[in-house]
Structure 1
Amino acid sequence: MSDRLLDLYDAVLADLDGTVYRGGEAVVGAAESLDVARERGVVVRFVTNNASRAPLAVAAHLTGLGIAAQPGEVSTSAQAGAALVAQRLDAGAEVLVLGTDALAAEVAAVGLVPVRAHGDGTQAVLQGLSPELAWRDLAEAAVAIRAGALWVACNVDRTLPTERGLLPGNGSLVAALRVATDREPLVAGKPAAPLLTEAIRSAGAERPLVVGDRLDTDIAGAAVVGADSLLVLTGVSTALDLVRAGPDERPTYVAADIQAITESAATLEIGPKAGWDVRLTADRRVEVSGDGDPLDLLRALCATWWDAGSGPPAFAVEHPALAVLGLTGPR
């Protein structure tokens, strides 16, 4: 049996921001790699925590970047959030929407009534990211939540990766409402199960692979639904974050970018790698020796350090490859 990654899975559930593109720029090789997946009969789903755009707009954005995509291949946290609210309310209930018109449209699509201000009929608050969101919107939501309205957050991503760098994500605004209301929302997007569960269902997948750039959403979400995962280093999470990751945020594979889905699974898997020797000293410092691909060192280092515990490792000698990975030297 081939050990190519695409031969081991029947669906690729790819995150968007930081994985397939960064703002208005496609990640190099993303289009070609996803085309290869389709050619091999692997279903592609674009699974995004970003709730600001409808699937049609997401597909159009991808197509404009040269990445083939159909609206039916897109699963958003807006869809998952609206579905989560609909499961708990009767048809026709009013839902205060904090987000874009696309999010409001998802609410209407599941038989609920989107509103923009709190009133006597408000039964839920659905919160997603919008660049136009203002203090008065948060104020309306705070009043509704304190009055007992169901609160659902499409996602709790603290940051949003763009070509300009990391910008405030929906989670930053959710945090503001947490402080203002002393309440906790239900969460639809990754790492909670609803979004990935629906993407797996729509793909008809039995062996899905989750591909993403964030340990706390993409990789943790894969763990929640029992799926294998590939961390790519084109977005938020760094090599240092990976080494320090707790048990619920540890991927099956790690790679520089999404092009790795066409490579050998054994090469990408976390574990010992030829050319590198990683071991712990008696005082729990990490000794590294050898030469080769720094990412292979990262894979071997994670396997050794995760077996020993968690937190940031201390290195007995600062091997040059560690600096390449950003694990030693100035940070």
Structure 2
Amino acid sequence: MRMARCYRSPGTVAIARPATSCLRSSPVLASRGVPGKPRFMEKWVRSLRGVVLDLDGTVYDDGDLIDGAGDATAAVRAVGLGLKFATNTSRHPCGTLIERLRRQDVYAAPDDVFTAPRAAAAWLLDSGMTRISLHVSPMTVEESTRFAIDEQQPEAVMAGDLGDDWTVERLNRVFPHVMGGAQLLEIQKNRYWKHGDTLCLDAGPFVAAIEYATATTVVVAGKPSAEFFGAAAAPLTSSPPNSSSSVTICKRTCAGPSPWEPERLS
């Protein structure tokens, strides 16, 4: 069963729930008549400054808004909590995702959506790298326009979801770059994703092949990198130095513990 995990950061407790129950059982919604666990939730919500939501499988599924997600996001904002969206998708640029949310009556400002391609670009800038070999969907090339495309001596190889364009020929183009010292930068490390009723390989297995062949360690910009969620939550955590407030992160996973079983995070 597809689950949505809720991570509380800082802290060590994670609660796994079915895809929409992170929202339906939310303390934010308990006051709006949505079934929840009010005593636990009221105390929980008082400690929060904001919520970070994954998109695919949490807010919408295969492009369609999940039942209750629109009301839930509105309720989060209504009680004064900050709300950000974080997604691993490397097939669509940020602007397209914002328009998709708005078409489904989910409000999102331009800086409310944090994507893995943007996290990858930020990592390159922080590392002082400007020359890259780029392997991403044509629709997300615009996220990397600050960098020079160099297929001779790139400083880094940026790889994302390419669908059927992940071929042996492409792997053999990436391989010598990494063997030559280029940093392998993976936008996200998803193993697979669901398209309609079909499970499809994502970028993870292909980049893992390069990682194995070159005996190198890939840098992951998106999920499951903790830095990715930290960067997405950063705008929500600007609280006074002595504040103990935290941010909750809800994301999709494919399996998890029972709905009320706490899980300790490392």
TM-score normalized with structure 2 length: 0.73
Output the CA distance in 1 between the equivalents of 2:63 and 2:139: 19
**What is the match of residue 180 of structure 1?**
213
Within 5 Å, give how 1:162-201 maps onto structure 2: 162-201=195-234
Output the CA distance in 2 between the equivalents of 1:7 and 1:55: 31
1:20 and 2:35 equivalent? no
Residues 152 and 188, structure 1, Cα contact 8 Å, conserved in 2 = yes
Residue 165 of structure 1, CA deviation: 4.1
Residue 98 of structure 1, CA deviation: 1.0
Residue 103 of structure 1, CA deviation: 3.8
Residue 129 of structure 1, CA deviation: 1.1
**What is the match of residue 114 of structure 1?**
149
Post-superposition CA distance 1:173-229 (Å, at most 9, x none): 222322333322011112213321221223345511000122xxxxxxxxxxxxxxx
Residue 60 of structure 1, CA deviation: 1.2
1:46 and 2:85 equivalent? yes
Change in CA separation of 1:87 and 1:102 when aligned onto 2, cut-off 3 Å: farther
Output the CA distance in 2 between the equivalents of 1:200 and 1:112: 26
Residue 6 of structure 1, CA deviation: 4.2
For structure 1, list consecutive stretches of 5 or more residues without a partner in the other structure: 215-235, 244-253, 255-298, 308-331
**What is the match of residue 139 of structure 1?**
172
Residue 25 of structure 1, CA deviation: 1.6
The CA RMSD measured in Å over matched residues stands at 2.4
Output the CA distance in 2 between the equivalents of 1:49 and 1:166: 17
**What is the match of residue 11 of structure 2?**
none
Identity of aligned residues (%): 21
Change in CA separation of 1:63 and 1:132 when aligned onto 2, cut-off 3 Å: farther
Residues 163 and 202, structure 2, Cα contact 8 Å, conserved in 1 = no
Letter of the structure 2 residue corresponding to residue 114 of structure 1: I
Letter of the structure 2 residue corresponding to residue 129 of structure 1: D
Residues 157 and 183, structure 2, Cα contact 8 Å, conserved in 1 = yes
Output the CA distance in 2 between the equivalents of 1:114 and 1:242: 44
Residues 237 and 247, structure 2, Cα contact 8 Å, conserved in 1 = no
Residues 18 and 161, structure 1, Cα contact 8 Å, conserved in 2 = no
| Structure 1 stretch displaced more, 1-10 or 193-202 | 1-10
Aligned residue pairs total 218
Post-superposition CA distance 1:126-162 (Å, at most 9, x none): 1111235232332211121111101111111112234
Output the CA distance in 2 between the equivalents of 1:166 and 1:43: 33
Give the 3-state SS of the residue equivalent to 2:128 in structure 1: coil
Larger Rg: 1
**What is the match of residue 89 of structure 1?**
128
Change in CA separation of 1:132 and 1:242 when aligned onto 2, cut-off 3 Å: same
| Structure 1 stretch displaced more, 32-41 or 192-201 | 192-201
Residues 237 and 246, structure 2, Cα contact 8 Å, conserved in 1 = no
Highest relative contact order (Cα 8 Å, sep 6+), 1 or 2?
2
Within 5 Å, give how 1:123-138 maps onto structure 2: 123-131=155-163, 133-135=165-167, 136-138=169-171
Letter of the structure 1 residue corresponding to residue 233 of structure 2: I
Output the CA distance in 2 between the equivalents of 1:34 and 1:65: 12
**What is the match of residue 71 of structure 1?**
110
For structure 2, list consecutive stretches of 5 or more residues without a partner in the other structure: 1-37, 239-244
Change in CA separation of 1:184 and 1:7 when aligned onto 2, cut-off 3 Å: same
